[in-house]
Amino acid sequence: MSSIGDQKNLKTHWRSLADLHDLPEYRAFAEAEFPETADPGGVNRRRWLQVMGASFALAGVAGCEAKREEVLPFAKRPEGRTPGQPQRFATAMELSGSAIGLLVTSVDGRPIKVEGNPLHPQSLGGSHALAQAAVLELYDPDRSQNPVQLAAQGPIVHAQKDKWSGFDEFVRQHFAGVKERRGAGLAVLSPASSSPTLTRLRGRLQHELPEARWLVYEPLHDDSVRAGAKLALGAPYRTQLDLSSARVVLTLDADLLGSHPASLRYARDFARGREVVDGQMNRLYAVESCFTMTGSAADHRLPIRSGQVPAFVGRLLQRVQQLLSSSVSTPSGESHVEKFLAALAVDLVAHRGAGIVAAGDQQSAEVHAAVHQLNALLENVGKTVNYTLDPSADDVSQVESLKALVSDMQGGNVDTLLILGGNPAYDAPADLEFAAALQKVKTTIHAGLYRNETARLCQWHVPQAHFLESWSDARSFDGTYSIVQPLLAPLYGGRTGSELVARVLGDAVPKSEELVRATFKALVGEKYNESLWRRTVHDGLLTESAYPAETVTAAREASLPTEWSEELPKNGALELVFCRDASVYDGRFANNGWLQECPDPLTKLTWDNAALVGSATAKMLGVSSQTLATLKLGGMLLKVPVYVMPGQAEGSIALALGYGRTAAGLVGGLSDAEVPAVGVNSYLLRGSQAMYVATGLTVEATGESHRLAVTQDHFAIDKVGVHERARRVPILVREAPLDEYLKHPDFAQHVEHVPALESMWSEHVYEGHRWGMSIDLTKCIGCNACVVACQAENNIPVVGKDQVLRGREMHWIRVDRYFKGDAERPENVEVAMQPLACHHCELAPCEQVCPVAATVHSSEGLNDMVYNRCIGTRYCGNNCPYKVRRFNYLNFHEELKDANREISKMVFNPDVTVRVRGVMEKCTYCVQRIQAVKIDARNHGRPIDDGQVVTACQQACPAQAIVFGDLADSQSQVARSQQDSRSYALLAELNIKPRTTYLAKVRNPHPDLAEVPDPAEVEEGRAQH
Amino acid sequence: MKPLIGVGLVVGALYVVAVGYYGGSPETWRVGYSPRQPVPFSHALHAGQLGLDCRYCHTTVETAAFAAIPPAATCMNCHQQIAPESSKLLEVRETYANGESVPWIKVHRLPDYVYFDHSAHVTRGVSCVSCHGRIDQMEQVTQVKPLSMGWCLDCHRNPDPHLRPPEYVTNLAWVPEEDAAVAGKRVREQLQINPSTSCSTCHR
């Protein structure tokens, strides 16, 4: 065995740079039995209480004390309602103008859990973390609750019983005047919306008030995508991809599996293409500056600066054209990029008609035009790439129209501004100085879920209804028409956007249900009848309402640079890329504790954003992780903590948007209540000229440091030193290239051989069900949908940044992200994701050490956790080899009896016990779901069918990487999956017989690009067999 | 030192006895708990004398975890005709009209961490009487069984004496013609009843 110390380039796995270099901060976590003991000293208690209060409050009083309790039945029970039984309703969630179909579980009238709608073509039953966290947002006590009017002496809150009367009277009077002027001086600024009802009302407004204008602004806009389509195709067509039949996929700064509006569908289709059929699987190339989920799933990832992508595409186009005309490939150069280009071009051409080239929002129109040309050249159009008409009414750039609005506001040409949601004072380009321009407008009205930064500057702010409280409609990325139906009446009496617009137009008491129905009537025309409406509401979508594919061809030669320079830009000429944040999106979810605490898929960072810097760049700049650095861009300065990110393109620095909120709420930052902002506001550096990619950045270390709450080193599985770790990690995450898998389908079983094991304990005998799980590492994209789904299903508390820093996060399922390769060479870094929850070992080490039998084995093989018996010795956590047990170091619920926060209790799942301080908890395989299915099946005398019991993580997974079921049924999906040749158990050598197993990861590298294995290693591998 | 140890031993012994007495006392388990209800509804009259089936009011008992307390509308089905002016029914009539709830007091209470399911029991031949006693003879509902974990487990471990053909589940006066354990065993085998004693059966 060669040691890792003297072989720096040995390809191996590591959790983080701290792990790779065996730094003290890693050892502190890996070697300690438990992160830190329960000393709350040093915790900013006030801050902790605020954070906690926003997510959870005190659970019901339990125990046998004789306390009077009332049972309050309905006077007349609604039809179909059984008290205590969950009901499911279809609805849809819209984000930046595209919707996904959802199925929301409601118990006794309160929605508690969000799932994807299996009927909906854009979610197919899967969901993402943002959708999963929607219920916490719904019950957020920091949401805006009353209309607020700004007066000279300060804000007036209209909290009386008919709180809308003042606003309604104002609207009636004010807009009568606006109407007389035919809308002159009125501007409506709205976030992107696909709602046909809002579009209809917008048309009505522009008809009745022809002088008024309506514009759309999204901070994460797709201006260049639309401009590129217009350049190449003549109109801003929308590109629809079919990843299920694609063999070769190239993404250029495009996160198809993560941030794309159709990511759920794409993740499912991509995962299907990863199933090895007839020795074939798809191959994904990702060319990007900042690590995305797509990049982490890629077979080949080329980290280059976003500014180099145009030249990369230019050269690719040249090579493809040459190959197509002469079918002789130009010899590839020596550099890695040249080799990559050569292999990629050959692959794309070889798979003509089954390839995809896609570029992301931050790439220029010219790159998008070239991508359309490439897809046309490669005959992908009409097969894997289709075009549909762009539904949005504007044929203009969002940024340009916002610029025009702001200059009119400055010039005094706008006297009424209606902001229908959104937060432009916070997220508009910094150089526009939107907040200052807002002061020049006589009448400003803001509607929104929160009284945010913009709302505080407007004369009127009114509460908007949450989508789970609203009647509305929306279209998904492919155009499927969905109905948004309310799960409950607005908690705080908010109104929907369409109700507000209808009122502005003079409707007396507009009802959004009627508005939506009227749109639906017009949409379906003669086919309309009550049963069609009811079915559409019930199903959540109108079948076959997707946009039809259009026949268009790119008829334009792209003009892109082809000069390539490998030179690293100097400090002062660095590139800054603004990216969407996986947790807070553009900042709108900043007050959501579940999302703030959900580790970023790649950086594993919680409660912060950071400047992501590559290794070599960090060395050049003299910064390291947790250094506080000053970023200088175009005269603007911003102090940001640095995070050295393996795989980050050198010379390019990535910074997530959406942090540094000052009026988000008690979780995300509220300066009125002296709650510091979470993270830094990167919008301050974002100008209208460079919305996604800026150059000319200077980075200077300030000498200060900032602690980042990164979970990647927490709950590390082994603690036996860097050498042993290097040897062991490939045993934990087993992977092989496709050709090796084809030669040795059972490679995963031969990674390590252990002698026949004998049990020290008498083994359990199972007569009935044997529940088990299988997780496919080839399909997992690390998106965190399972993490938040589990949090919602199992009443898992939020602990706050201070506690995360101590390693006390409570997530029952975590996604371990391993890096592989040479940290000094970003192009060499690969990622493997491994979701990990309790493995429900048949010979569970935790059970054997519990002194009070608080964790015991069930007759079906579940490792039951009995909270009432637990006395908190934590022996079980200590003895768990997977590190999946979580201890309640503090009482995350009881200290929060604040009446103002009581509403947050509504998010609790009544079928799961709420835990208190001093007890251990962990994944239960969603035992409440198992019991519900079992009881129902037995009541009806039926057997339980395979696939009936679905765990929360499994249900959320967009890629269907998780399979759960009964191992006693040899034909069940999970049993077949566990018998697959790729299946292996983690730490099988301990003879603990885990019920969860993994399917080894198979990658599909291009033969020309595959790393040649070290002959010494191959030799050693043989010797081991 | 010595007297201290002596005192300690005596106090310790007293403490053990006190805990044992308190823990085992029926009051601890609320046996005999019989709160006055806002409406003096008599089960003895309705279920006993009039012979109404339990499920006429507790409609969800065979399909759901909760045997739901009936809405005022159920009372009004009859009481629009029968005793429509009765002062005892004032609260029922009022809530029926204004849509509010009658604030019934819960008698049989389990801790929040116990997930009992009525449907799982009544569809498998466990009669109402096993846990609730002769409700059909009670003017005011009283808790008669301890509803403790040990008491639940007694039956889960040895279900036979407590099982009856499911059609007699709501017949509280029913007695088997033969030995209860023999009759119950037949039901258990017929319905393949295999009660679980795993913790997660009731605790989640």
| Tokens linked to B61 | 């008992």
Q: For residue A912, which residues of chain B lie inside 8 Å, CB to CB?
A: 204
CA distances from A774 to A294, A747, A884, A973 (A): 23, 17, 17, 9
The verdict on a CB contact (< 8 Å) between A856 and B124 is: no
Of A76, A85, A913, nearest to B204 by CB-CB distance is: A913
Q: Which of B55, B62, B74, B113 to mutate to test the interface with A (most CBs of A within 10 A)?
A: B113
According to the model, what pLDDT value does residue A329 have?
59
- Calculate mean pLDDT across residues A832-839: 94
The verdict on a CB contact (< 8 Å) between B65 and A85 is: yes
Q: CB of B94 within 8 Å of any CB in chain A?
A: no
Rg of chain B (C-alpha set)? 21
Cα dihedral A93→A98→A100→A104 (10° resolution): 10
Say which amino acid occupies A426.
Y
How many alpha carbons fall within 13 Å on the CB side of residue A141? 19
Rounded Cα gap, residues A951 and A968, in angstroms: 18
Edge-to-edge strands, sheet with A814-820: A13-14, A814-820, A830-836
Q: For residue A923, which residues of chain B lie inside 8 Å, CB to CB?
A: none
Q: For residue B111, which residues of chain A lie inside 8 Å, CB to CB?
A: 62-64
The verdict on a CB contact (< 8 Å) between A70 and B104 is: yes
Of A71, A73, A866, nearest to B199 by CB-CB distance is: A866
Task: Nearest chain B residue to A938 by CA: give it.
Answer: B120
- Say which range, A3-12, A697-706, B65-74, B179-188, has the weakest mean pLDDT: A3-12
According to the model, what pLDDT value does residue A64 have?
42
Q: CB of B19 within 8 Å of any CB in chain A?
A: no
Q: For residue B204, which residues of chain A lie inside 8 Å, CB to CB?
A: 911-913, 924, 927-928, 931
Q: Flag whether pLDDT at A465 surpasses 90.
A: yes
The verdict on a CB contact (< 8 Å) between B64 and A83 is: yes
Q: CB of B102 within 8 Å of any CB in chain A?
A: yes
Q: What is the DSSP string of A722-773?
A: HHHHHHHHHHHS-EEEHHHHHH-TTGGGGS--------SSPPP---S--EEE
DSSP code for B136:
G
- Say which range, A29-33, A317-321, A869-873, A906-910, has the weakest mean pLDDT: A29-33
Q: How far is A448 from chain B (nearest CA, A)?
A: 32
Q: CB of B72 within 8 Å of any CB in chain A?
A: yes
According to the model, what pLDDT value does residue A896 have?
54
Say which amino acid occupies A187.
A
- Calculate mean pLDDT across residues A19-24: 72
| Tokens linked to A546 | 């997707």
Rounded Cα gap, residues A948 and A961, in angstroms: 17
Q: For residue A70, which residues of chain B lie inside 8 Å, CB to CB?
A: 103-106
Of A60, A76, A927, nearest to B204 by CB-CB distance is: A927
Q: What is the DSSP string of A301-322?
A: EEE--GGGHHHHHHHHHHHHHH
pLDDT tens by residue, A146-163: 999 998 888 889 988 889
pLDDT tens by residue, A623-658: 988 899 999 998 899 999 999 999 999 999 999 999
The verdict on a CB contact (< 8 Å) between B196 and A858 is: yes
pLDDT band at A29 (very low <50, low <70, confident <90, very high): low
Say which amino acid occupies A748.
A
pLDDT tens by residue, A743-758: 999 999 888 888 888 8
* pLDDT, chain A, mean: 87
pLDDT tens by residue, A472-526: 999 999 999 999 999 999 999 999 999 999 999 988 888 899 999 999 999 999 9
Q: How far is A851 from chain B (nearest CA, A)?
A: 16
Q: For residue A859, which residues of chain B lie inside 8 Å, CB to CB?
A: 196-198
DSSP code for B44:
I
Q: How far is A950 from chain B (nearest CA, A)?
A: 16
Rounded Cα gap, residues B144 and A466, in angstroms: 47
Q: Cα–chain-centroid distance for residue A1004?
A: 25
| Tokens linked to A993 | 């017989």
Q: For residue A66, which residues of chain B lie inside 8 Å, CB to CB?
A: 30, 33
pLDDT band at A394 (very low <50, low <70, confident <90, very high): low
Give residues with Cβ within 8 angstroms of A744, minimum separation 6: A736, A750
Euclidean distance between the first and the last CA atom of chain A, given in angstroms as a whole number: 15
| Tokens linked to B15 | 């403490």
Of B68, B70, B119, nearest to A939 by CB-CB distance is: B119
Say which amino acid occupies A836.
L
Q: How far is A902 from chain B (nearest CA, A)?
A: 18
Q: CB of B68 within 8 Å of any CB in chain A?
A: yes
pLDDT tens by residue, B140-179: 999 999 999 999 999 999 999 999 999 999 999 999 888 8
Q: Flag whether pLDDT at A5 surpasses 60.
A: no
The verdict on a CB contact (< 8 Å) between B203 and A939 is: no
Q: How far is A298 from chain B (nearest CA, A)?
A: 39
CA angle, B131 as apex, B129 and B133 as ends, to 5°? 45
Q: How far is B3 from chain A (nearest CA, A)?
A: 33
ipTM metric: 0.90
Q: CB of B150 within 8 Å of any CB in chain A?
A: no
The verdict on a CB contact (< 8 Å) between A768 and B194 is: yes
In degrees rounded to 5, what are phi and psi of residue A233? -115, -5
- Calculate mean pLDDT across residues A930-935: 94
Q: Flag whether pLDDT at A334 surpasses 60.
A: yes
Of A77, A84, A928, nearest to B204 by CB-CB distance is: A928
The verdict on a CB contact (< 8 Å) between A938 and B95 is: no
Could you give the 3-state DSSP secondary structure of residue A815? strand
The verdict on a CB contact (< 8 Å) between A64 and B28 is: yes
Q: How far is B204 from chain A (nearest CA, A)?
A: 6
Of A73, A860, A867, nearest to B71 by CB-CB distance is: A73
Q: CB of B38 within 8 Å of any CB in chain A?
A: no
According to the model, what pLDDT value does residue A42 have?
47
The verdict on a CB contact (< 8 Å) between A82 and B62 is: no
Q: For residue B117, which residues of chain A lie inside 8 Å, CB to CB?
A: 931, 935
According to the model, what pLDDT value does residue A719 have?
46
Rounded Cα gap, residues A123 and A590, in angstroms: 24
In degrees rounded to 5, what are phi and psi of residue A738? -55, -45
Query: How many A-B residue pairs are in contact by the CB < 8 A criterion?
Result: 131
The verdict on a CB contact (< 8 Å) between A64 and B29 is: yes
Could you give the 3-state DSSP secondary structure of residue A834? strand
- Say which range, A291-300, A810-819, A939-948, A1006-1015, has the weakest mean pLDDT: A1006-1015
pLDDT tens by residue, B55-98: 999 999 999 999 989 999 999 999 999 998 899 999 999 999 99
- Calculate mean pLDDT across residues A556-561: 81
The verdict on a CB contact (< 8 Å) between A864 and B63 is: no
Q: What is the DSSP string of B11-24?
A: HHHHHHHHHHHHHH
Rounded Cα gap, residues B147 and A66, in angstroms: 13
DSSP code for A905:
G
The verdict on a CB contact (< 8 Å) between B69 and A76 is: no
The verdict on a CB contact (< 8 Å) between A864 and B120 is: no
Q: How far is B132 from chain A (nearest CA, A)?
A: 17
The verdict on a CB contact (< 8 Å) between B117 and A935 is: yes
Rounded Cα gap, residues A261 and A585, in angstroms: 12
